[in-house]
Amino acid sequence: MSSQTQRFENHARYYPLFHFVAVPLLVLYLLYSLYALVRTPTLATLANTVLAAGVCASLFAARIMVLVVQNRVIRLEMAMRLERVLGAAAAADAIATVPLGRLISLRFASDPELAALLARVRSRELATNRDVKQAIREWQPDLLRA
């Protein structure tokens, strides 16, 4: 974990092995195999291109699956937190009506400002995830994201 204070400007999470090693290498490999297929169209270069595309697809599918699970965990976390802060009925209504992206953005808000921000989301004053995150004054860091 980082000792740096998290805020809107620096909250984006990069996983170096995925973002800066695996993705660039596999994309370069796919591009090279496409180049080789165009240059020398043989069964071997076609098989190589299909393999490269499959490996790239697998990499992105794995990343998407991790993010879906993370979003489900955050939704559960927010349901419990909203129930504690707002009460069971208000929490259930918020979980049912607030888009998941806004709910995930509200995860960074402190408990004292959560109700007011939720009201602004419902009134559509905060229409995007970015708007929600920028409106947060007391940022609650999440340093364990995937």
Domain spans of the chain?
15-135
| Mean pLDDT (whole number) for 95-121 | 95
Q: Is the four-CA dihedral 85, 89, 91, 97 of positive or negative sign?
A: negative
DSSP SS3 for 87: coil
| Mean pLDDT (whole number) for 45-59 | 97
C-alpha–C-alpha distance, residues 33 and 72, integer Å: 37
| Mean pLDDT (whole number) for 64-70 | 94
Q: Which two tokens stand for residue 80?
A: 């419990």
Q: Quick check: pTM over 0.85?
A: no
pLDDT at 1: 45
